[in-house]
A and B are shown apart, each in its own frame.
Chain A
């Protein structure tokens, strides 16, 4: 399979805190990689580095053979946690999903019928068509997460990064998101997603990675869960008291 994202010896520090200390992983096209690890293990940092949102101290990141910042606009779609934005912003669901089209349009492109069709398609995929005209402040957490997912789909990206999309959402949203992710993966999309939920890892991911500043284990979900690596660091974190259970 074609390699989509190649991360080698990634080191990221925030001031004196080391968030990632030599993380290495490869994700292929048509593959979903789940990332688990305790809070502060660098899961979100790993995604942000791939998205080109922060400058690593050392190591390399290749996305479709290029550095993240050198990619054409619209290549990477990043779905943040829903707390990341102000939901009182004057915008409807449609407006937010339409933003997914903006990167490819550039400064002078016209938002045309093709773009509108892509927005409706994305809304349909996450089952939000009926809420298109609703103001975003009137959405539940699950609906907000679906709107973010629809924006990413409308972008028609080549790489999809998801930061804990299942945290704090209802069961039907979680299932809707899972179905959409598997459909995208089936079309060849590489997906990297952080999660706290181990129970359904086998349904979501082709491979699972345990991260705690470095990659402690990577393999099929079954292999990783049987190895007990994640259970091990959870125990360790509990003993040392720096794991928030959430």
Chain B
């Protein structure tokens, strides 16, 4: 028993678990929209672009969340604008913009005499370094995202299924999309410290993709996705303590396993249904 509770004795591990739970829940909830609106590439783009913001914030001595936040939200709105108005294909625009912003981050960082920020921790996350103030920021931003999502639940659902008819009936579909992209940007920012730039995209896609296999209703898909996200992030962090592995990578690997289990369960379920 003592051994099982071991990780929870340390304050830094307690903070890490709270962070993992919040990030897992938020990413997998927003992931429902990412999957159904086919935004996974956008999530990846926002995550990479925000790296430039992190580096600029660091160099100017500004707050990490402010720097990453501004760049992530601007990128999200920019991508949304191109998506709506652009004559450039969306994947092309994102490919150009996010690799450019990411390169700017690397460029600025490489000109520093000493690499005092650890690139690895931004790429793959460093959940154990989360301090009390970070937790407060994550809780605050997380609550904001949750409340806005709850208030806009119906508008987000309708515009995800049928944006054209939603707009014809008087729902401001473009505005809803912009709000969603900003929520996505905020979700990504609060996840960066936990799982990093490379893995946040996985957390935005995998739990929701697994849930999509198992239900045919939207609200249930979101609930199952949140359940998977919470289990995987807390479970992955817990496992990483004993496996001495990267927490972000362990979380995402666990989510990947859950995804394949969900596909398997769907196949088995389908076979049983056909026999019956």
Contacts and interface: CB of A to CB of B under 8 A. Distances in A.
A103 B170 contact: yes
A72 interface: yes
Contact of A90 (B155, B166, B171, B216): B216
Contact of B161 (A73, A91, A155, A161): A91
A118 B152 CA distance: 22
A35 B17 CA distance: 62
Nearest to A111: B154
B154 A102 contact: yes
Given A73-B169, A74-B170, A92-B217, A84 B154 contact: no
Contacts of B169: 73-78, 100, 102-103, 155, 157
A90 B215 contact: yes
B216 A53 contact: no
A85 B171 CA distance: 17
Contact of B216 (A51, A71, A135): A135
A103 B217 CA distance: 20
Contact of A84 (B36, B160, B162): B162
Nearest to B36: A89
Contacts of A77: 168-169
B119 interface: no
A95 B168 CA distance: 19
A84 B161 CA distance: 10
A105 B154 contact: yes
Contacts of B217: 90-92, 95
A161 B221 contact: no
A96 interface: yes
B164 interface: yes
B165 A52 contact: no
Interface string B142-180: 000000000110110110111011111111000000000
Interface in A32-76: 48, 51-53, 71-76
Contact of A89 (B151, B161, B167, B170): B161
B216 A78 contact: no
B124 interface: no
A91 B218 contact: yes
A77 B212 CA distance: 29
Residue from B151, B166, B215 with most neighbouring chain A CB atoms (10 Å): B166
A103 B162 contact: no
Nearest to B222: A90
A107 B36 contact: no
Contacts of A141: none
Contacts of A51: 167-168
Nearest to B218: A90
A72 B170 CA distance: 7
A99 interface: yes
Nearest to B215: A90
A161 B169 CA distance: 11
A107 B158 CA distance: 12
Residue from B157, B165, B166, B171 with most neighbouring chain A CB atoms (10 Å): B165
Interface in A144-162: 148, 151, 155, 157, 161
A137 to B, nearest CB: 8
Contacts of B168: 48, 51-53, 76-78, 161
A71 B169 CA distance: 9
A52 B169 CA distance: 9
Contacts of B215: 90
A73 B169 CA distance: 6
A108 B153 CA distance: 10
B68 to A, nearest CB: 29
Given A73-B171, A90-B36, A99 B218 contact: no
A227 B22 CA distance: 69
22 contacts: A51-B168, A52-B168, A53-B167, A73-B170, A73-B171, A74-B169, A74-B170, A75-B169, A77-B168, A78-B165, A84-B164, A85-B161, A90-B212, A90-B216, A90-B217, A90-B221, A91-B216, A102-B155, A102-B157, A102-B169, A108-B151, A111-B154
The 9 closest A-B pairs by CB, nearest first: A73-B170, A78-B168, A51-B168, A103-B169, A135-B216, A102-B154, A103-B170, A90-B221, A99-B158
Given A73-B169, A89-B161, 6 more contacts: A52-B168, A53-B168, A85-B161, A89-B218, A90-B216, A90-B220
